[in-house]
Amino acid sequence: MRRKVEIVGAGPAGIAAAIWARRLNWEPTIYERRLVLGGQLAHVSLPITDLPGLPGIYAHELCQRLAVQLDSLHVPILYGREAIGYDRGYLIFADGRRVASAEVVLAPGLRPRQLAVPGAELIEEVSVSDLLAAREVGPAAVIGGGDRAVEAASRLAEEGIGTLVIHRGRRLDARPALEERLTASGAQLWTESRVTAVEPCAAGWQITVEWRGRRAVHIVHQILVRIGMIPDLSTRWQASLDSASDHVNLIGDAARTPAYRSLVTAFADGMTAVKTMVSKPNPENNPAVDADGMVGPGSSSTFR
């Protein structure tokens, strides 16, 4: 009988783990708390230039191909299912349900680092695509100097939106091609500057900035915080990893330092995790032999 593996996260690492599990005759199920697959790919707008064999492919096209491949392999993906931890042989969900599982691949991906200044907790995460689709965007401030910040600012400025980039460093951290794009876009750049406070106002937001020894106040309609990404791991998941490392395998960008995070390493992590599991002995008490080993409110069929 095929062994089961529960995969938390439908980003590149989780998808690769599912593909390899099928190839090695396991029964994978993917649980994704959002309503779409792709993870960080959902926020990539530029062509992907460094994926071997598929140079220049766009993220949305890659996501479509991955979805087709999973469908052809009959891998179930349960959207809107938030797994919050693992305890004594069960994958635990936010709604109180549990799934019996001896093997869990945890591929949570990353989440944006929050700005640690007064008022920043009121800023909602928003994508550039959503802003442009709304067609009611006034002046914007982008905080950060890496690839994500510079790309976001460039896209806004290219659409004629007054855009200010606020960066702590003396130079940007983005790739040269993106720096050139930002310069051409007409966005305003403040280096050696930091935000000290943000406050809602009638026009949107009032930002207080220390800029090269001076204090300035800037009024914008929208703030985009792009100061880096950190592993999307809750305290409970970290405790699960500490207590059940033999059963929960953390993979993907959440398991790597920033310098080695990439689409290629995410795919490789999925393969490595599954091959490592395959090498384990199959205990007789492995509870994961079918897709209905679920307990909690309601029937198992409604969970699917």
Predicted confidence (pLDDT) per residue in 6-58, tens digit: 999 999 999 999 999 999 999 999 999 999 999 989 878 778 988 999 999 99
In this prediction, residue 130 has a pLDDT band, given cuts at 50, 70 and 90, of confident
- Domains of the chain listed by start with CATH number: 4-112+230-303 (3.50.50.60), 120-227 (3.50.50.60)
Global confidence as pTM: 0.83
Round the average pLDDT of the chain to a whole number and report it.
Answer: 90
In this prediction, residue 137 has a pLDDT band, given cuts at 50, 70 and 90, of confident
If you average pLDDT over residues 282-304, what whole number do you get?
42
Q: Are 162 and 149 in contact (CB under 8 A)?
A: no
Q: Are 146 and 174 in contact (CB under 8 A)?
A: yes
Written as one string, the DSSP assignment of 184-237 is: HHT-EEE-SEEEEEEEEETTEEEEEEEETTEEEEEEESEEEE-S-EEE---HHH
